[in-house]
């Protein structure tokens, strides 16, 4: 998720009588697709709940700790935003199914050269595909490349990149097992009512090519849906329509009645796909979730109610009015962990999407429907010592504005703002919070708590109420630079020459 869609609620109302034919044909074609799909692909048509594992964080857990967290919570599907070697190595032998993401910035190269796509597949895919390796099932080519705010810069690269990568997969004998997909933002389509859903006019041609490509390879359409952003971005969006508990603002679309934004959005996509002749294409939700901090509607209660409502809705197999009985194939919650180094351009909430905090602690009770009734916390998290940096109580803080600003320009202070969990901690609390964020970012380097003599280190936890003053975790593996990796490979090669078996961890 990058930027909030601008679709306004006000345009979501009109009437449309064509529902009946759509419904019947959707049903018939669904039966067809179930048969075709299960015979051509190694997956079953039954919703599974997976998670997005992003790593844009100052304080990263060890990848092995994250994989253990996934396993403790019986999570069988994970989506990565790039082919990060640390994460992929940790996933080896886990049996977890993986969607590997290719960042938009790589599309230019991959679309222009089959040598580049061959190398990508060799280095980032084939290398992991063996017994005891990583079970890569999907490659996400680009991330929301059709987002309006990109002004079309990635648009023309998507199809050529897909074609090159498909050939490279075929050459690597992986084309039957690994599916290429393109996670789309929900602003790729629009409508005043679900049944009128249609892709944005300037995307018609590329979407026609894309869905035809997906269809011929047995790939699903992947879409990211964010009712939170609709609520955040539009003051007249009815709050209860964002959730699954029933609404006083149901949307009537012919004979169909929509009581939640998710169903409405999903069926808008179904209608858009139908207009291109692929109304039965399987749909995967690549990202969906609710943040817990950094905005008024971003809080623990709302996130719990939304995510639990979503999971229950999807696992009930109720489907939507245009696809009754057929929920999305899979949903990937956004997100597994908070990512405190993400851009706050979309809003302060952007760093708080995790169902777990940055250090793998469950934020609220959630039943993922995977066997555990509640989330289980990460185990064996290695923290730095219990030390915090706070404003020195004996110093005059009248000149604190600049040091504080500096601290927050590097470290994460988003919870201090209006709607945040630390918004009410007072002026001095604000300073302490900022100082501590920076001190932990600097891995508790004593000098980083100086702030012209205004900071002081304490072993008393300054957290108040819901406002948590963090302590950094130690992650020794993610800082491995490519030159370090290179060195260790040379050592391995050398030891192998001597007949010594070595395992890189
Ligand atoms: C493999 O993936 C990583 C991370 O996405 C990327 O930086 C690297 O360039 C890729 N390798 C190739 C050969 O494309
Ligand atoms: C949390 O978010 C919900 C749903 O958007 C909102 O109604 C509620 O007022 C928020 N709670 C707090 C304490 O801000
Ligand atoms: C603390 O900082 C936040 C964010 O800058 C601000 O909104 C709030 O008013 C500050 N509190 C006090 C008491 O100054």
Q: What is the CA radius of gyration of the chain?
A: 24
Write out the two tokens for 317.
Answer: 């197999």
The pocket around ligand 3, CB under 6 angstroms, is made up of 416-418, 426-427, 430
> Which atom, in ligand 1's list, is nearest to the CA of 103?
5
Rounded-to-integer distance, Cα 136 and Cα 67, Å: 15
| pLDDT number for residue 405 | 94
Considering only CA atoms, which of 34, 21, 42 is closest in space to residue 282? 34
Nearest ligand atom owner, CA of 84: 1
Cα(318)–Cα(263) distance, rounded to whole angstroms? Answer: 11
Contact indicator for 383, 360 with CB cutoff of 8 Å: no
- Taking CA 309 as the corner, what is the angle to CA 78 and CA 239, rounded to the nearest 5 degrees? 115
Q: How far is the CA of 294 from the centre of ligand 2 (A)?
A: 12
C-beta 297 within 6 A of ligand 2 = yes
pLDDT score recorded for residue 30: 36
DSSP-H helix ranges across 338-425 = 401-410
Distance 176 CA to ligand 1 centre (A): 22
What are the residues whose beta carbons fall under 8 Å from the beta carbon of 443, sequence distance 6 or more?
Answer: 384, 472, 474
Please report the pLDDT score of residue 31 as a whole number: 37
Ligand 2, atom nearest to 305 Cα: 4
pLDDT at 46 (0 to 100): 63
Closest ligand 1 atom to residue 101 Cα is 5
144 tagged catalytic: yes
| Spatial distance between the Cα atoms of 277 and 297, rounded to a whole number of angstroms | 38
Q: Does residue 237 sit in helix, strand or coil? A: coil
- pLDDT at 90 exceeding the cut of 60: yes
Average pLDDT of the chain to the nearest whole number: 87
Interval 486-495: pLDDT, tens: 323 333 333 3
Q: 53: closest CA among 3, 99, 4, 93?
A: 99
Mean pLDDT of 185-211: 97
The dihedral over CA atoms of 151, 79, 228, 297, expressed in degrees to the nearest 10, equals: -130
- pLDDT of 441 reads 97
CB 63 within 8 A of CB 477: yes
H/E segment holding residue 252 = strand 251-253
Is residue 83 within 6 Å of ligand 1 at its C-beta? yes
Q: Helices 401-410 and 426-441: crossing angle, nearest 10°?
A: 40
88 CA distance to ligand 1 middle (Å) = 12
Look at residue 476 in the predicted model and tell me its pLDDT: 65
Largest CA distance in the chain: 76
* Contact 465 CB / ligand 2 (< 6 Å): no
Least confident of 148-162, 219-233, 364-378, 468-482: 468-482
| Residue minimizing CA distance to atom 4 of ligand 1 | 83
CA of 299 to the centre of ligand 2 (A): 6
Look at ligand 2, atom 6, and give the residue with the nearest C-alpha: 297
In the CATH scheme, what is the code of domain 16-75+183-351? 3.20.20.80
Asked whether 110 and 116 are in contact (CB, 8 A), the reply is yes
Instruction: Give the integer Cα–Cα distance in Å for 281 and 278.
Output: 5
pLDDT at 456 over 90: yes
Distance CA(257)–CA(259), nearest Å, equals 6
Ligand 2 atom, smallest distance to 231 CA: 5
Question: pLDDT by residue (tens digit) across 107-152?
Answer: 999 999 999 999 999 999 999 999 999 999 999 999 999 999 999 9
Helix axis angle, 19-40 relative to 261-275, nearest 10°? Answer: 80
- Predicted pLDDT of residue 211: 98
pLDDT confidence tier of residue 1, bands split at 50, 70 and 90: very low
Centroid of ligand 3 to alpha carbon of 428 (angstroms): 9
Q: What is the pLDDT of residue 496?
A: 35
Rounded to whole angstroms, how far apart are CA atoms 53 and 121? 21
Q: Which atom of ligand 2 is nearest to the CA of 419?
A: 14
Angle, CA of 403, 409 and 413, to the nearest 5°? 90
* Consecutive H or E run containing 207: helix 204-216
Task: Give the residue ranges of DSSP H helices in 14-154.
Answer: 19-40, 63-72, 85-91, 107-112, 114-124
Q: Ligand 2 within 6 A of 301 CB?
A: yes
**Atom number, ligand 2, closest to the C-alpha of residue 296:** 14
Task: Look at residue 23 and tell me whether its pLDDT is greater than 70.
Answer: no
Ligand located closest to 240 CA: 2
SS (H, E, C) 175-200: CCCCEEECCEEHHHEECCCHHHCEEC
φ/ψ region of 394 (left if φ > 0, alpha if ψ in -120 to 50, else beta) reads alpha
* pLDDT band (50, 70, 90) for residue 440: very high
Which residues of the chain does CATH 3.20.20.80 include?
16-75+183-351
Ligand found nearest the CA of 482: 1
The contacts of residue 176 (CB under 8 Å, 6+ apart) are none
pLDDT mean over 329-346: 97
Which tokens in the block code for residue 21?
Answer: 């034919």
Ligand nearest to the CA of 227: 2
Take atom 2 of ligand 2 and give the residue whose Cα is closest: 297
Confidence of residue 22 (pLDDT cuts 50, 70, 90): very low
Copy the structure tokens of residue 234. 């539009």
* Predicted structure pTM score: 0.86
Distance (Å) from CA 423 to ligand 3 centroid: 6
Catalytic residue among 190, 287, 339, 350: 287
Range 452-466 average pLDDT: 96
Nearest to 370 by CA among 95, 75, 91, 77: 75
Percent of the chain with pLDDT over 90: 84
Flag whether pLDDT at 479 surpasses 80: no
Q: What is the DSSP string of 267-300?
A: HHHHHHHHHTT-TT--EEEEEE----SSBTTBSH
Distance 121 CA to ligand 2 centre (A): 45
Higher pLDDT pick, 235 / 486? 235
| Pair 135, 97: CB distance under 8 Å | yes
User: Can 287 be counted among the known catalytic residues?
Assistant: yes
Which of 46, 84, 105, 144 is flagged as catalytic? 144
User: Is the pLDDT at 246 greater than 60, yes or no?
Assistant: yes
Average pLDDT value for residue range 164-170: 98
What is the spatial distance between Cα 445 and Cα 412, in angstroms, rounded to a whole number? Answer: 17
């Amino acid at each position: 998720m990058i930027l909030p869609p601008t679709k306004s609620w006000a345009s979501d109302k009109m009437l449309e009588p064509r529902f009946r034919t759509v419904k019947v044909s959707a049903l018939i074609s669904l039966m067809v697709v179930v048969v075709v799909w299960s015979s051509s692909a190694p997956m079953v048509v039954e919703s599974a709940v997976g998670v997005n594992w992003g790593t844009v964080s100052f304080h990263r857990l060890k990848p092995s700790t994250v994989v253990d967290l996934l396993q403790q919570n019986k999570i069988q599907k994970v989506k990565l935003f790039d082919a990060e070697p640390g994460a992929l190595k940790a996933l080896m032998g886990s049996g977890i199914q993986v969607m590997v993401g290719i960042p938009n910035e790589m599309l230019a190269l991959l679309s222009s050269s089959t040598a580049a796509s061959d190398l990508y597949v060799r280095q980032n895919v084939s290398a992991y595909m063996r017994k005891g390796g990583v079970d890569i099932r999907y490659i996400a080519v680009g991330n929301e490349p059709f987002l309006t705010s990109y002004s079309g810069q990635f648009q023309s690269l998507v199809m050529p990149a897909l074609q090159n990568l498909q050939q490279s997969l075929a050459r690597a004998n992986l084309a039957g097992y690994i599916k290429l997909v393109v996670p789309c933002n929900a602003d790729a389509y629009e409508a005043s009512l679900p049944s009128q859903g249609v892709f944005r006019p300037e995307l018609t041609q590329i979407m026609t090519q894309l869905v035809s490509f997906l269809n011929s390879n047995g790939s699903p359409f992947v879409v990211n849906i964010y009712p939170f952003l609709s609520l955040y971005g539009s003051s007249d969006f009815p709050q209860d329509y964002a959730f699954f508990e029933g609404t006083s603002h149901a949307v009537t679309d012919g004979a169909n009645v929509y009581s939640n934004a998710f169903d409405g959005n999903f069926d808008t996509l179904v209608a858009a796909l139908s207009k291109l002749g692929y109304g039965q294409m399987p749909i995967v939700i690549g990202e969906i979730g609710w943040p817990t901090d950094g905005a008024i509607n971003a809080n623990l209660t709302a996130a719990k109610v939304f995510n639990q409502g979503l999971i229950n809705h999807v696992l009930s197999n109720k489907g939507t009015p245009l696809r009754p009985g057929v929920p999305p194939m899979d949903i990937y919650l956004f997100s597994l962990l908070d990512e405190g180094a993400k851009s706050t351009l979309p809003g302060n909430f952007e760093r708080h999407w995790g169902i777990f905090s940055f250090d793998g602690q469950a934020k609220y009770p959630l039943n993922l429907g995977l066997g555990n009734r509640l989330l289980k916390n990460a185990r064996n998290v290695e923290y730095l010592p219990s030390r915090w940096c706070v404003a020195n109580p004996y110093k005059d803080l009248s000149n604190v504005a600049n040091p504080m600003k500096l601290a927050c320009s590097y470290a994460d202070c988003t919870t201090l703002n209006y709607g945040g969990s630390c918004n009410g901690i007072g002026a001095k609390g604000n300073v302490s919070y900022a100082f501590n964020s920076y001190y932990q970012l600097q891995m508790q380097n004593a000098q980083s708590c100086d702030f012209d003599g205004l900071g002081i280190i304490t072993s008393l936890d300054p957290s108040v109420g819901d406002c948590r003053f963090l302590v950094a975790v130690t992650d020794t593996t993610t800082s491995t630079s490519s030159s370090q990796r290179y060195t260790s490979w040379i050592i391995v090669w050398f030891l192998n020459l001597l007949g010594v078996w070595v395992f890189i961890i």
